[in-house]
Amino acid sequence: MCLFLVLVFSSGCVCVCVCVRVILMFLRCFSCYKFLSLPSCLPLGARPVVYLQHALFSDNTSWLENFANGSLGFLLADAGYDVWMGNSRGNTWSRRHKTLSVNEEKFWAFSFHEMAKYDLPGIIDFIVNKTGQQKLYFVGYSLGTTIGFVAFATMPELAQRIKMNFALGPVVSFKYPTGIFTRFFQLPSSAIKKLFGTKGFFLEESIGKSPSIKICNNKILWVICREFMSLWAGSNKKNMNMSRMDVYMSHAPTGSSIQNILHLKQLYHSDEFRAYDWGSEAENRRHYNQSHPPLYDLTAMKVPTAIWAGGNDILITPRDVARILPQIRNLRYFKLLPDWNHFDFIWGLDAAKRVYSKIIDLMKSYP
């Protein structure tokens, strides 16, 4: 348990302006047991650094939403790590730009491709400069893993800064999901744009959060919330603390861009892991200097990698994960958790015992 957690806004909540002028906000978390000579009391500059990247429609609080003994952010901090937790561009906390307004379509012209190619390198550069540590650990969950895989497969210099890549419910192959969200991908892209526009998607000011919070926290109606979660990510009802649902739902959904959703839709309808298709050869040439979107070659990634998958995950299925394993040339660890769904990686009651403890053990093995 964390006895003394420091979340100091002067050094703990940082705005970073990356090269595309998007302003990203993230948290720095560290802890110390006062008066005890434990690893968590090391000076910040001496602590190994971990960067955590959240999922789609989420934010960095997902790493802190359970109690201290069940949240990866707290556990890493108490184990002596200097923990940084990012917010993807377009979510509630990273929706600012030096020159563009959120009301402009150009602001929302991004997907996980831009997050990987521009945002993540900018964040890692900032962390390296701030801490003096030349290398760090990367932990991604769901779409957070996608950002890591794209970045480390396409930018060898950035990959050299990563001690180990930890992927929870990795989104690379997206051919076999059966969750309710995939029905959305059956719609033509033109219909999606007509229904939801061409800017943000699932923005909290548009959909509101209070109804879902009230339903999920109601002693009678909470079962509706639980069943909806099962339709989205798979069933593992006994592994979620339903009394925490108001906490979970107060931070989700946080929004993203329509283009990000359409990029995922392209993965769903393709056998290949590619950059976003801008819809014409001319536009693709403008962005990539070639007529078709470039492939992300996972075999080029040399970062030591550990992967966890849920056997009951209907969003990122074991079948999809099995497709990418042969492409990970430096796979050091893989674990299939037969009963887990997609949400168990952050909200599971047994996540600390079955996954987080192993992450910390592997970090100690790859200092």
Task: Report the C-alpha gap between 127 and 227 in whole angstroms.
Answer: 40
Q: From the CB of residue 166, how many other CB atoms can be counted at a distance below 10 Å?
A: 25
Task: Report the C-alpha gap between 118 and 61 in whole angstroms.
Answer: 22
3-state secondary structure string across the chain: CCCCEECCHHHHEEEEECCCCEEEEEEEEEECCCCCCCHHHCCHHHCCEEEEECCCCCCHHHHCCCCHHHCHHHHHHHCCCEEEECCCCCCCCCCEECCCCCCCHHHHCCCHHHHHHHHHHHHHHHHHHHHCCCCEEEEEECHHHHHHHHHHHHCHHHHCCEEEEEEECCCCCCCCCCCHHHHHHHCCHHHHHHHHCCCEECCHHHHCCHHHHHHHCCCCCHHHHHHHHHHHHCCCHHHECHHHHHHHHCCCCCCEEHHHHHHHHHHHCCCCCECCCCCCHHHHHHHHCCCCCCECCHHHCCCCEEEEEECCCCCCCHHHHHHHHHHCCCEEEEEEECCCCCCHHHHECCHHHHHHHHHHHHHHHCC
Is residue 78 among the annotated active site residues? no
Is residue 320 among the annotated active site residues? no
Is residue 277 among the annotated active site residues? no
- Which residue among 40, 71, 142, 173 is the active-site one? 142
- Which residue among 59, 313, 320, 344 is the active-site one? 313
Q: What is the CA radius of gyration of the chain?
A: 20
Active site amino acids: 142, 313, 342
